[in-house]
Amino acid sequence: PVPLTPLVGRRQALTDLSRLLANTRLVTLTGPGGVGKTRLAVAAATAERDSASQAGELVDGVWLVEFSGIRAGTPADLAQVVAATLGIRDDAPRPLPGISPFTTTPSLPHRLATALRDRRTLLVLDNCEHVVDAAAELTDLLLRTAPGLRVLATGQEPLGLAGEAMFLVEPLQPADAVRLFMERAAASTPGFPRDPDAPDEPERRAVAEICRRLDGIPLALELAATRVRALGVRELAVRLNDRFRVLTFGQRGAPARQQTLRAVIDWSWELLGAPERIVLRRLAAHTDGCDLAAAEAVCAGEGVARDEVLDLVTRLVDRSLVVVVAGPTGPRYRLLESVAAYATERLHEMEDPTAVRDRHLLHYRALAEQAEPRLRGAGQRPWLARLDAEAGNLRTALDEAVRGAGA
């Protein structure tokens, strides 16, 4: 995916990473949620692709594989996600990719390894933390089988494989943190300058204070920047100060950076209206985001009407809690990892998640049924693209169906 905003800072990190990737076949970016691992991995992979094509080298591809949606999984489950991303399909006919339990046969990792054997590929395996053992096992197999393969993984911890190079993603340098904050604040606040030197002295001090308070964590900076419009930077700095004064007593134990991010997401959450909260926590039932139709089907229900969903989602986008990316059927709405984790917690606290999961299951079952007769012959391509985009949701729906049948 092409990020919609420019990368701020990270020049040294990109140089270091490119050197590492030249000498190591497995590099893992680690660091706390929201620090910018995914963003840096995408930038590094893009740079690899550009320099390969400039050198006139033939690269079979640079691919971003997203594991964030998978809650638990075997190496075969992960292999399926990789294969779907790369467009590698099994020869055996399968009417409903992603939804038949028979698609995850034990040999899939091996078939994938074989398919990659003669290719030069860079795989970005994003968000390995939930599935670190399976990801390690799969990565090990793939790297052993495919000599032209390199893997750039991201996660809160390393995979623990021999030969793995670890790269700790640091928070942004103070000057870059200020730049990111100014960029985001300017984007959402009419009249607010992008240039860090433009505001007057007290405002510049307030901005520096905010960035320091937020530990230079990009996600925290983005969330806070959405409040500049309502509060201005000086008031925002004061409010953050109060907040952290309260929080340092409440939440000892957690590492400081996690505490910061949690505090900022908490704060963003508290500022939402009730219907926005409902939509945000129900959106978390999706895996790898969803399109508008799914958001309407899954988020509408008690407290929110279907025709309000678009409006509420748009407001969450404005608050940086939901990210819009281009998908095969129009915009897709996704939650960043840390926001999704937070929203899932809230979903479980605040309502019966079964009803939400049932609506999710119904929606994706209907999609699978609608797709089935259209997967052969002319017109199959858009449907295949659509099912690929929804592979995570189809898998989640299948898990839910299996759980329901077993209960």
Ligand X SMILES: Nc1ncnc2c1ncn2[C@@H]1O[C@H](COP(=O)(O)OP(=O)(O)O)[C@@H](O)[C@H]1O
Instruction: Return residues touching ligand X (CB under 6 A).
Output: 5, 7-10, 31, 33-39, 180, 218-219, 222, 336-338
Taking the C-alpha atoms of residue 366 and residue 59, their distance in angstroms, rounded to an integer, is: 39
H helices present in 189-336, as ranges: 201-213, 218-225, 228-250, 256-270, 274-283, 292-299, 309-318
Taking the C-alpha atoms of residue 267 and residue 223, their distance in angstroms, rounded to an integer, is: 9
CB 66, min distance to ligand X, A: 11
The end-to-end CA distance of the chain, in Å, is 39
Q: Which does 132 bind (CB under 5 to 8 A by kind): Mg ion, ligand X, none?
A: none
Give the footprint of Mg ion on residues 332-391 (CB under 5 A).
Answer: 337
CB 316, min distance to Mg ion, A: 19
Q: By C-beta, is 67 or 364 nearer to ligand X?
A: 67
DSSP state of 271: T
Q: By C-beta, is 339 or 391 nearer to Mg ion?
A: 339
Taking the C-alpha atoms of residue 35 and residue 41, their distance in angstroms, rounded to an integer, is: 12
Number of helices and strands in the chain (H, E):
17, 8
Q: Which does 7 bind (CB under 5 to 8 A by kind): ligand X, Mg ion, none?
A: ligand X
CB 55, min distance to ligand X, A: 26
CB 168, min distance to ligand X, A: 11
Q: By C-beta, is 189 or 320 nearer to Mg ion?
A: 320
Question: Binding residue for Mg ion (CB under 5 A) from 28, 38, 104, 139?
Answer: 38
Q: By C-beta, is 85 or 156 nearer to ligand X?
A: 156
Structure tokens at 406: 């077993």
Q: What are the φ and ψ backbone dihedral angles of 152, each rounded to 5 degrees?
A: -115, 110
Residue 267 contacts by C-beta under 8 Å, 6 or more apart in sequence? 223, 243
Q: By C-beta, is 265 or 397 nearer to ligand X?
A: 265
Q: Is 30 in the site for Mg ion (CB under 5 A)?
A: no
CB 108, min distance to ligand X, A: 27
